[in-house]
A and B are shown apart, each in its own frame.
Chain A
Amino acid sequence: MIRNWTKAALLGLALSTTAVAYAEAQGVLTIGRREDGTTFDPIATAQNIDFWVLSNVFDVLVRVDNKGEALVPGIAKSWDISPDGLTYTFLLRPAKFSDGTDLTAADVAYSLTRIRDNELSLWSDSYKIIKDMQTPDANTLVITLSGPSAPFLSTLAMPGASIVSKAAMEAMGEEAFAEMPVGSGAFMVDEWRRGDRVILKKNPNYWDADKVSLDGVEWRSIPDDNTRMLAVQAGELDAAIYVPFSRVDELKMDANLSVVADPSTREDHLLLNHSHPGLDNAKVREAIDYAIDKKAIVEAVTFNLGEIANSYIPKGALYHSDDNGARGFDPEKAKALLAEANVGPLSLTYLVDAGDQTAEQIAILVQQQLAAVGITVTLQKVDPSQTWDMLISGDYDMGVNYWTNDILDPDQKTTFVLGHDVNNNYMTNYKNDVVKDMVAAARLEMDPTKRAVLYAEIQKQAKSDVHWIDLYYSPFISVTRKGVENFGQNPLGRFWLEQTTKNY
């Protein structure tokens, strides 16, 4: 009896393996990523994994262009800012939500009120500046601010400020909406198999639907980097993101694949705790900057796909300034500066995220390079979720961290890093009141030319004080099958899938 059962099972197994049909609709782009999204409520998430899909499903008032250089019209066809910088008048284009209802100024006002006031919102602080919103007619939105703010327009392009359908949200309730949202983007959610994939289909009501070539998009979650790459190689995926730098050369050799490198705003830097003895001395910090061979780090960590960072504002980003007195690699000068500082033998603890290969690689390089100028570095491996608490409480000497911009304007990062606002200037305990005042002034300055001057000065001063040590900029790397055209993301991460085509 057992024998019969065995036979039957073997037969079944053989049958099931002989033919596998990849039931895949033409024109549907499948993209592999590391993990599944968590919610479709735009205000309730701060994760890129969600943001990138929110941009497919929702519109924002203004968009960041593909190069990450300027704000371009989104749902707002045009806008006007009053001379005092307090009143913004947006003229909306005629648009419909995916359920066929009209998108009106009331929906935009509702969405912005939610991100400012709703208790689910992770972004309240950035929108508190909105004092009042008026909708004189269905296509006009007037926003009044409590004070002038140069970065305000940029914050409206953030996926958190996506425009949701007021009627749908109220009818469905927040929890149901977060799973089956109603937006006005190029695509709409067809099905969300949690933990597995999000299936989007083309939104026929999208205002620019004629230009959308794809019939749909499937965002599949494949946590293992290796499997994700193999799935593209086997043709199971059309594209995959989060390609490890180490795999790029090998993937480039596959004739069926194209590797795409898009500039990003990611900047990796070395935090220094200015409140600790030794590191409170600017000469010592300068010496460390001279002692670190950033080129070696770029080679080892990014396989030369990244480039040396010379400013906290990423290259190519708004108001980036090259002329800030960045230091080259000069161990002799480092030794001289240390002798001048006369602080005795230095022994520093370096906080490393355990299990983060990149962070560990950088740590070992920095340890060796500093040893060469006579600084002893002790590596302390800590669970990533714990490092933050230690950084905040100042329980460290140095550690690597990275930042990616959420908005086009440099104010958000600048305030966190140099604004003397929260988290002790991004945990560094850096203090310079001149910089503090310039950061505040740059936020209020509405003239772009004058702002450029201010930001250039801020970058120069921060670099001169060695507020932290800029290490490298790195691109987003993705891989596609040949025949997928115009697949990519802007430096803030937005995928322009409404322009992507699949020709097979």
Chain B
Amino acid sequence: MHRYRFVLFRPLQFLPVLFGISVVTFVLVRLIPGDPARILLGTRATPTAIANIRAQYGLDEPMWTQYLYFLKNLGAGEMGKSTLYKIDVLRLIATRVEPTLALVLAGVVLALLIAVPFAAISARRQGTVADHTVRVLSTAGIGFPSFWLGAMLIILFSVKLDWLPVSGYGETLFDKLTHLVLPGLTIALSLSAVLTRSLRAGMVAGLQSDIATAARARGMSENIVFWRHVVPNALVPTINLLAINIGWLIGGTVVVESVFALPGLGQLMVRGIFSRDYMVVQGVALTFAVATVLINFVADIITVALDPRIEL
């Protein structure tokens, strides 16, 4: 079991990482020009009204004092009061985590559903028309901007065919799933392009490897050789690729959430930035940071589990 020792020690390294991220986002959001009090008041802002709000939210204090308050709040299980929504940011984030998480999951699952069969066809029929078609498609897939792709999917599946809802998020599980298909597909189509290329390369190498040759020599059918020996090995680098891309994936959800009106963290973040709602921005940034760190951690565990040769 010593190969899993890192599971105990790795989390200790998270603390300085998260501390660093909290300082950087805290400072960065305050360096952007613009004043939350002014934005809250709109065109009617008067100097006294602005001063009142700045005092109320502690925005008139020096930045390091504000940071200490932030840490103190975190210790008490709070993230500070949003200037725009006037409630604690943690409460805002709590309701927004699920749609974003569900969207990322839907995107990854659909991407794998697309990528594995395509990569398999491509790898097993190298050099054929099928192989070239898959490779061209996966190059094209990266090129489509998600706001355009999303709109096209809506026009086809919601307006013309009336199969799926245009926007929003559901209440029941079924309702939620139907609302996730199109946004999930939007993410999946570009993500699968990346995954297909990685999987194909892994599979091609796997098919020519000694393991495959040995398996064939033992009389196993080509199907068993492929799915039992080649695919699991090709998945290892793909999972790492996914983990590395998680930041990019979360960034992508911002646009997709906005196109499909999914009430997730990405939308909260965007509005937070436009309103200079410092507490919201640093809260969501910290949540994304924790998520990224955790996902990479889990990916490491999976990698170790899939490949007995790897030690971390």
Contacts and interface: CB of A to CB of B under 8 A. Distances in A.
B41 to A, nearest CB: 6
A6 interface: yes
A6 B117 contact: yes
A385 B39 contact: yes
Interface string A1-33: 011001001100100111010110000000000
Contact of A385 (B35, B87, B95, B158): B35
A3 to B, nearest CB: 6
Contacts of B40: 46, 122
Contacts of A389: 33-35, 38
A388 to B, nearest CB: 5
Interface string A401-438: 10100100000000010000011000000000000000
Contacts, number: 157
A479 to B, nearest CB: 14
Contacts of A220: 167-168, 261
A226 interface: yes
Contact of A125 (B33, B34, B49, B181): B49
Interface string B126-140: 000000000000000
A269 B35 CA distance: 23
Interface in B83-117: 84-87, 92, 95-96, 109-110, 113, 116-117
Interface string B163-201: 111111100001101100100000000000000000000
Interface stretch (B237-245, B263-271, B302-310): B263-271
Contact of B178 (A17, A221, A226): A17
B167 A236 contact: yes
Given A222-B167, A227-B261, A233 B227 contact: no
Interface string B263-285: 11001101100101000000000
Contacts of B169: 196
- A interface, by DSSP: helix, strand, loop or mixed? mixed
A332 interface: no
Contacts of A221: 261, 263
Nearest to B175: A23
Contact of B163 (A20, A47, A231, A236): A20
B47 interface: yes
Contact of A13 (B155, B181, B260, B270): B181
B117 to A, nearest CB: 7
Contacts of A236: 158, 165-167
Of B48, B166, B177, B274, most A-chain CB atoms within 10 Å: B166
B51 interface: no
B159 A224 contact: no
Given A194-B95, A230-B159, A383-B33, A3 B261 contact: no
A20 B34 contact: no
Nearest to B158: A234
B41 A122 contact: yes
Contact of B113 (A9, A227, A231): A9
A484 interface: no
Nearest to B155: A230
B113 A6 contact: yes
Contacts of B268: 195
Interface in A438-481: none
Nearest to A235: B162
Contacts of A224: 147, 258-259, 261
A388 B38 contact: yes
Contact of A44 (B86, B151, B168, B177): B86
B45 interface: yes
A17 B35 contact: no
Contact of A197 (B109, B151, B168): B168
A316 to B, nearest CB: 21
A22 B34 contact: no
A231 B167 contact: yes
A119 interface: yes
A422 B41 CA distance: 14
Given A119-B56, A224-B258, A195 B155 contact: no
Contacts of A82: none
Contact of A195 (B96, B117, B154, B175): B96
Interface of B: 32-35, 38-49, 52-53, 56, 84-87, 92, 95-96, 109-110, 113, 116-117, 147, 150-151, 154-155, 158-159, 162-169, 174-175, 177-178, 181, 227, 231, 258-261, 263-264, 267-268, 270-271, 274, 276
Interface of A: 2-3, 6, 9-10, 13, 16-18, 20, 22-23, 35-36, 38-39, 41, 44, 46-47, 119-120, 122, 124-125, 175, 178-179, 193-197, 220-224, 226-228, 230-231, 233-234, 236, 383, 385-386, 388-389, 401, 403, 406, 416, 422-423
6 contacts: A9-B113, A20-B178, A36-B263, A38-B85, A39-B86, A403-B43
